[in-house]
Amino acid sequence: MEKELIYILRKFYDKLMQSFLYEKKLKNNSILISMMEVKSNIRYRILMDASISIYELPKTILDTLLNRGLIAESDEPDRFFITAKGVWAIEKSNEDTLVKFINNKFFNVSQNNKKISDKEKIILFSMISARTFSPDSSIDLKKDHYTLDAWIRIIDSTSKKLLEMGVIKEITLSNLYGKSGNEHKVSHLIRHTDALPKKTKGLFMAAGNQKYYLNVTSNDRYLHKEKISYILSLIFDDENLKKYETIIEVESFCKELAYQEAPFLFNIGEDNFTSHEYDDIITEAINESILLR
């Protein structure tokens, strides 16, 4: 009886495997992994295509497989498909593959080995220059187009400066902002930053409600220079930049941009970090990031 059960269950499994192969959606030679990687509508179609008619199944075997939860009834009359439990009964002999996939996809929080891209360097340097250091001094994509246009000026200036310094390679504006359609191009750029929280050890914050900032302050507005220094070290990671001239150039650019653009970014009374007190802390952070790291 058990041999017959396994034979019929394998028939379900093999048919589902063929469906994934036909759709070119098979991942890691595992149905369970493939199921987690496809969209729900594709998953539904593949399952339905792999269903088996009641007339192809011995009744005693059918009843046993149903009772054990290894197969389930399809939306289509008199047809059945294999369940996750049924797939696991076949694939559990190779559980290391599944565990490795789950670990890499859902438990891998470290991105230390992944370099910051040129586009990400532009975004981070723009945020440091504009001093988006709290939820109240954030990139707020819900603000009016005048504010978003100010961010275009900041990002364009930042990309130009980083290119001049040899920090990034030449990047066209179309490649920088992408095809945004009706969406404001700054919004399109900033929203596609899913990797930055991990790459910055959680310092890049997507706060919700389309607000983005660098988590480098305490509740009492204390600015942590070591956190700013760390972000800057990700941007200015080339050994050729480890010189005093770089410090002067970065300090001058950041300070000028902050005071020039702050009135266009933040409303009167809103939290911002344009003051001599913060100038000094940022200067120290720039020094540490370029010469000491």
Burial class (CB in 10 A: 0-12, 13-18, 19+), 237: middle
**Residue 111 falls within a domain, yes or no?**
no
Domain count, the chain: 2
What is the C-alpha separation between 272 and 138, in angstroms, rounded?
9
Element (H, E) at 24: none
Give the predicted TM-score (pTM) of the model. 0.67
Residues 81 and 224 in one domain: no
Are 101 and 135 within one domain? no
Q: Do 153 and 198 lie in a common domain?
A: yes
| Residue at token pair 């295509």 | 49
d(CA 105, CA 150): 37
Q: Which of 106, 129, 153 is the last residue of a domain?
A: 106
User: CA 248, CA 282: separation in Å to the nearest integer?
Assistant: 12
Task: Indicate whether 87 and 61 sit together in one domain.
Answer: yes
Same domain for 129 and 183: yes
Q: What is the pLDDT along the chain (293 residues), one digit of tens a residue?
A: 588 899 999 999 999 999 999 999 999 899 999 999 999 999 999 999 999 999 999 999 999 999 999 999 998 899 999 999 999 999 998 888 888 888 877 776 665 557 899 999 999 999 999 999 998 899 999 999 999 999 999 999 999 999 999 999 887 666 888 776 778 899 989 998 999 998 999 999 998 899 999 999 987 788 999 999 999 999 998 888 888 899 999 999 999 999 999 999 987 666 679 989 999 999 999 999 988 75
**For residue 282, what are the domain limits?**
118-292
